Amino acid sequence: MFAFELKEKDNNTKARCGLITTAHGSVDTPAFMPVGTQATVKTMTPADLEGMGFQMMIVNAYHLYLRPGHKLVKELGGLQKFMGWNKSVATDSGGFQVLSLAKTRKILEHGISFQSHLDGSSHFLTPQKAVEIQEYLNSDIMMCLDECPPVEAPKEYIEKAVDRTTKWAKECKISKTDNKKALFGIVQGGIYEDLRQKSMDGLMELDFEGYSIGGLGIGEESEETYKTTEFCLNSLPENKVRYLMGIGKPADIVEAVAKGVDLFDCVIPTRNARNGNVFTNNGKIVIKNAQYSNDNLPLDEKCGCYTCKNFSRAYLRHIFLAGEFLSHRLLTLHNLYFYAILMKRIRESIAQGKFEELKHEMSAKENTKQ
């Protein structure tokens, strides 16, 4: 059971609100998916995430295939039961992780041969295997196996990766057995518009339930990211979910929403928290800085999260510098709450015809540090 319905459109931009329906609930879009790499969002419980308003998370098929194994997850009731999360789940194909984490890997026409980064064991990931893994995990939205070439790759190589990604997408669609699950094609092509168009043309012929824009945020300039995203969105069908993979700075999210993106994921809020970097309504805070050593204010006086209601900047700085695990949890909770409220504000502003005001506000705050 999968459906996508457009609800609202902004009059001045291409921002839109919609509703994704899966077998495990509804997701209001634009939406941000917290990243649960190992079937857990670091330091957070499912109750934490649900309490903030998140309706879907994304987990990593590559990692769960290697440990504890997709077959075991299926035996234990699928991801929702395994994680204690009764809402929607998306999974990636594992292709990017194979290419970036495997000790050795070789890209072949029928898949990717690689050695596990955990124990060096040999594996061969095919499009068929990628779909099987994700169906066993019982995800609601699955990704086709794709090849994401590095940003510095020659154009000739990127074109071969586009052709291979399209070929694998066809094989993924044929291999899918569960009609209740959605399968998204992944657009590749680097920063080259002709290759992006070639990728989209091949994928749209296959009529996927949604389309992911991949291969961005991997080292190209920000303007190239925006330009390529906009180019893709001008061609991708309006009645399908558009997912921008791995892009997650608050200002970047707002900018991408303005161009018509529905779905986001990124490790930025959680990874930044573990490094002591905090998002607030007045700009970023680096909590380890000495200026907060006797600061009795909350991280953000406008924030209603548990961290801001109960702890001062001075205390949070103290436990962060002391290496206490609680600092990671409290800062992560705040950053994710900030993202949840941001997405809610985005949806409300679109519905109220005030999205451009929010866009200008976020752009002004992006480079502000306290």
**Which positions are catalytic?**
92, 265
Backbone angles phi, psi at 50, to 5 degrees: -65, -40
Cα dihedral 97/103/109/111 (nearest 10): -50
Strand 122-125 relative to strand 88-91: parallel, antiparallel, unpaired?
Answer: unpaired
Q: Pairing state of beta strands 25-29 and 263-265?
A: unpaired
Beta-bridge partner residues of 32: 264
Q: Which helix (H) or strand (E) holds 311?
A: none
- How far lies 75's CA from each of 46, 249, 303, 309, 341, in Å? 21, 37, 41, 41, 36
Residue type, 81: K
For residues 252 and 290, give the distance between their C-alpha atoms in angstroms, rounded to a whole number: 29
Residues 6 or more apart whose CB falls under 8 angstroms from that of 33 comprise: 54, 56, 57, 58, 90, 263, 264, 265
Q: What angle do CA 28, 30, 35 make, to 5 degrees?
A: 90
Beta strands of 116-227 (E only): which ranges?
122-125, 141-143, 182-187, 210-213
Residues 6+ apart with CB under 8 A from 291: none
Category of 207 on φ-ψ map: left (φ > 0), alpha (ψ -120 to 50) or beta: left
Report phi then psi at 35, rounded to 5: -90, 120
**How far is the C-alpha of 200 from the C-alpha of 215, rounded, in Å?**
13
**Cβ 334 vs Cβ 278: under 8 Å:** yes
